[in-house]
Every structure is written in structure tokens, then in C-alpha cells.
Amino acid sequence: MPVKSVQSARRKMVLPYLIWAMVFIVIPIVLVIYYSFRAEQNGQTVFSWMNYRRAFEPIYIRVMGRSVRVALISTFICLLTGYPVAYIMASKEYVSKSFLLFLFLVPMWMNFLLRTYSWLTILENNGLINSLLAFWGIRKINLLYNNGAVTLGMVYNFLPFMILPIYTVLKKMDQSFIEAAQDLGADSKITFLRLILPLSFPGVISGVTMVFMPAVTTFIISDLLGGAQYMLIGNLIEHQFLRVNDWYFGSAVSVILMALILISVAIFSLADKDSEGGALF
């Protein structure tokens, strides 16, 4: 078959995906960017940078800073918890790996909103934990509508996104490398730090990216577990579009959030590239 015919056939196969991407990705992003530069002045809609200047006022800077801080804390906890779990699941000695993997996947089959709602019955003032504390004569604890509740909700919902990429990388790791390191006299600590951890770094970067991005953009978790007064950048955008009906400012905040995510992905990709083939210690 001629090369030109093959290339033409490939272009025809790619065309539906290009159309889909144009309609549902490119055009909406262009519209959001366009609206972000529009503003109301003297009863008229004009081109202006006012929305971006407003977005960097102290009150909104605090919202963005809180969003990044909570997302980083949640990502770190997911990594600290998820890596040992993925490592155990990938080890040859652990025989119940399929069952453990099943336990982490089952919650993902449930609706995201329903999973978050379930924590209300556990953490609320008359919920499961406080009922147990009251039964034992212990004073009830305020577990809802604070940083801890929001972080807990993020870790619970996004932990599988950290475990699965790391588990996949560790599972595919060539065991002959580990055997060679042991033959050369490396103990388990040196083998892990100089071999296993650097080779699993691509999975770590993928997991961190998959947890950080939804954590920094979420608004359902902070709405339910943080209360109406707890606002993250996702809540700010949702508030501007659906409640205040200020699409122009909401679009500007959305563009800033997209830029933040792109910068984060670039940093994670750079860290992944720099770690290829090298040991950490």
C-alpha cells in the first residue's frame, strides 16, 4: 500500500477526534479566555484587565493560597499512605494483593457525591464517631467544617489515584535488578533507596499529578465537609458562575486556575524527566 494512501487513511481516522477536541475542548477554552477579558463599565461591556486585577486582591489571594495548601497537604498524605500500600501490593510475597486492590477500587464504583456525603454521617455532631465518644462518656469533638474534614475528604476520594500508578510501575519493574543488587551485597534499605524508589518515580509523578489537579480544583468536598464559609478556588468559580452570575470574573479565575495547573504539570514533568535513570541518593 502506498505511503501517501496510508497517511491519508490515518488523517481520516484522526479527524473525528480532532473535531471532538475542537468542539468540546478548544472552543470552550477560547470562550472562557474571551469572557475573562470582558467587563461591565458604565452599563457597557468593554475589553478590560479589570477581572485579573480583581482576582489578585488579598481576599482572593488567600482563597488561592488555601486551595494550593490544602491540595499539597492532601497530595502529600496520599503519597505517604499510598506508596507503602502500592509497594506491599506489588511484592511477590503478598498473596492477597487482588483483594486489597479490590477494596480500593470498590469506592470508585460509587458516585463521587455519595462517597463524600457518607462522611457527613460519620463526622457530624451526632454522627458515628461522636456517638461512640458519647457512649464512652467522652466529650464530643467538632470534626466537620474545618481544614481537617476537607483534607480527609480529599485523601479518601483521591487516594486510589495515587496508589494505582505507583502499583502499576512497581508491578512492571524487572525483578532481576533487585536480585542483582542483592547479589552485590546491597541490603533492603539500600536496594529500596538506590534502586526501587528511583525506578518507581514515574509512577509517583503520575500519582501526584492525578491527585493534586482534582484536589486544587474541587468544590464539592469543601462545600459539604468545609461548610458554606470554607471557600477554595473551585468554590469561588462555582459561586461566580451559578450564584453571583458574574461570568466575566469567574472566567478570569478559571484562566488563572488553568495556568496554575499547567505550571504544576510542567514542574512535575520536569521532575520526572530529571529523575530518569538516576538514583536519588
CATH classification of the domain holding 68: 1.10.3720.10
pLDDT grade for 177, boundaries at 50, 70 and 90 = confident
Residue 264 lies in a domain: yes
Q: How far apart are CA 268 and CA 272, in angstroms?
A: 6
Residue 50 lies in a domain: no
Q: What is the mean pLDDT of the chain?
A: 86
CA atoms within 13 A on the CB side of 59: 4
Residue 15 lies in a domain: no
- pLDDT score, position 3: 55
Residue 212 lies in a domain: yes
pLDDT grade for 74, boundaries at 50, 70 and 90 = very high
- With cell 457525591, the residue in question is 113
Residue 235 lies in a domain: yes
* Residue 135 backbone phi and psi in degrees, to 5: -65, -35
Does the CA dihedral 110-112-114-116 come out positive or negative? positive
Query: Would the pLDDT of 167 be above 70?
Result: yes
In this prediction the pTM is: 0.86
- For 104: left if phi > 0, alpha if psi spans -120 to 50, otherwise beta; the answer is alpha
Q: How far apart are CA 181 and CA 247, in angstroms?
A: 58
Residue burial 126-158, b: 16+ Cβ < 10 Å; e: rest: ebeebeeeeeeeeeeeebbbeeebbbbbbbbbb
Determine the Cα angle at 44 with ends 41 and 46, to 5°.
70
Query: Would the pLDDT of 78 be above 60?
Result: yes
Q: pLDDT tens digits for 92-134?
A: 776 677 778 888 888 888 888 888 888 988 988 888 888 888 8
Query: Would the pLDDT of 274 be above 80?
Result: no
Task: Specify the range with the lowest mean pLDDT, choosing from 19-28, 37-46, 153-162.
Answer: 37-46
Let me know: does 127 contact 121? Beta carbons within 8 Å.
yes
Q: pLDDT tens digits for 8-37?
A: 767 777 888 888 888 888 999 999 999 999
The domain tally of the chain equals 1
Q: How far apart are CA 215 and CA 72, in angstroms?
A: 8
- pLDDT score, position 42: 77
Residue 71 lies in a domain: yes
Q: How far apart are CA 250 and CA 232, in angstroms?
A: 13
Query: Would the pLDDT of 281 be above 60?
Result: no
Query: Would the pLDDT of 67 be above 80?
Result: yes
Residue 123 lies in a domain: yes
SS3 percent helix, strand, coil of the chain, rounded to 5, is 75, 5, 20
Domain interval for residue 247: 56-274
